[in-house]
Amino acid sequence: MKNRLIQCFLWVICCSVGFQLGAQEPNDSEGDIRYISDELYTYLHSGPGRNFRILGSVIAGTRVTVLQEDGDFTEVIDGKQRTGWVESDFISTTQSVRELVPSLQQQVLQANQTIEQQQGDIDLLQQELASIKSQNNRLESKITSAEKENAELSQTINEHDQTAQIEWFTRGGIVAVISLILGIIITYLPKKRRRNDNWM
């Protein structure tokens, strides 16, 4: 019975001390933000040294608020709002991999979304390019056909010109021959004698 009373008394004292320590904990917004370096964990001591009571452990990458430094130890407030001392070698000013991974994953996700969007834009551009190439091929075919028709028309016009020239020369030759024949005929026609009606 006496041992049970002693245990209850010690339990009440521990609870009151813990309550007082919790009430005296400073706000984590009062200090600088740091991170526990990427080890497995480090111990949180009640004072600036390894001989002080261990309050618990702090997992690597945990964000902590630095309150003060004393030798090789730094007083911090961890993510569970516990105030204690950890070795200064485990305090880092840069975010740990644990903190960076979600941000990097988000960046990778955004990059993948951007790549997918750009790939869609590339597909649309390739479709437009294929359509333009098809239109270009049709236009080239039309141009080739028009050039062929133009060449045929030019050849036809040249043939008509040659035919017209030959016909003109032929008609001119016929007219010349007829004129020559008429000239010869007229020359050999008998002339009428003049009447001599002069009075003596």
**In the chain, where are the structural domains located?**
21-95, 97-175
- Cβ atoms of 60 and 74 closer than 8 Å: no
Spelled out in words, what is the top-level CATH class assigned to the domain 21-95?
mainly beta
Terminal-to-terminal C-alpha distance of the chain: 207
Q: How would you write the pLDDT of the chain (200 residues) with one tens digit per residue?
A: 545 555 555 555 555 544 444 434 445 556 777 665 555 678 888 888 888 998 888 887 788 889 998 888 999 998 888 899 998 888 887 766 666 677 778 888 899 999 989 998 999 999 999 999 999 999 999 999 899 988 888 888 888 888 888 888 888 888 888 888 887 877 777 666 555 555 54
Q: What does pTM read for this prediction?
A: 0.35
